[in-house]
Amino acid sequence: MQMTWEARSLRLVFGAIATVAVFFLLAPTVVVLLTSLTSSASLKFPPDGFSLRWYAALADADQIKHAAWNSLVIAVATTLLSVVIGIAGALVVARSRARWARWFDALLMSPLVLPALAFGFAGLMYVSMVGLTPSVPALILGHTVVCFPFVMRTTVASLAQLDPGLLEASESLGASAWMTFRRVTLPLIGKGVAAGAFIAFMASFDNVPVSLFLADARTEVLPIHMWQIIDNDLDVRTAAVSGVLIAFTIMLMLAAERFAGLTRQLGR
């Protein structure tokens, strides 16, 4: 069946829009990668020549490595807490049809709606009110609040696809609620949890608004440190760090797609 002129025109228009969108999404990444390979001592595009000198220079960048380690520790701890809280919240919301459950769901999702900078400032005020100071635990708690909704949302989507008859069969065979969750529910929603955990990890590792208010010189994280370097002297090593992060993110995405079906989980 041949396509009509209107269908071809519509397909052409949407194809052109998608091409332009992909270009503007990928162009900054390509520019950063090419800049990180420059042989010159300044950030500029196009580069005068190509070299791996700035990637090699990262081996001696102690402050960058320290900030990256802080970010990694905080992101891992945040992900673990987000998984626990996200699963618990998803179980409560998904198994109830009461009106309070919808309000509870909206409350738990509110960190995704609130302006990030406003939430970071509110977090700083709260930490000060309870007598704490900016520290790694404060950063982990702040990141968890804004990251666990990702886990909860993908887990709720997985629970919606779960056949209630499987849970009833498990209980009828004498399994306790904990055994049913561990042997039946968790394996079946595991891919949804893993997809949310991946998003939570990346959101924590790359978080700026919360880290900006809850970090100090001792707990400086990588995004804030890179921001300060670019603001002060435009060090080319920041482009090299960006290149490493891009490669790291792509590898994590491929792993998440391979083992958790990331695209399928987010499409639910």
Q: What angle do CA 199, 203, 209 make, to 5 degrees?
A: 160
Closest Cα partner for 36 from 57, 59, 14, 8? Answer: 57
Higher per-residue pLDDT: 263 or 218: 218
- Alpha helices by DSSP H, listed for 161-236, are 164-172, 177-180, 186-205, 209-214, 222-232
- What is the second-level CATH architecture of the domain 66-266? Orthogonal Bundle (1.10)
Pair of tokens at residue 10: 């519509």
Contacts of 183 (CB under 8 A, 6+ apart): 170, 175
The tens digit of pLDDT for each residue in 176-228 reads: 778 887 788 888 888 888 888 988 998 898 888 888 888 776 778 888 888 88
The tens digit of pLDDT for each residue in 165-178 reads: 777 787 777 777 78
**Whole-angstrom Cα Rg for the chain:** 23
Tokens 């998608």 sit on residue: 18
Q: Note whether 82 and 205 are within 8 A (CB).
A: no
Distances (CA, A) of 20 to 12, 17, 46, 232, 237: 12, 5, 21, 33, 30
The tens digit of pLDDT for each residue in 11-39 reads: 888 888 988 988 888 888 888 888 888 77
- On whether the pTM is more than 0.85, the answer is no
Closest Cα partner for 250 from 5, 74, 29? Answer: 29
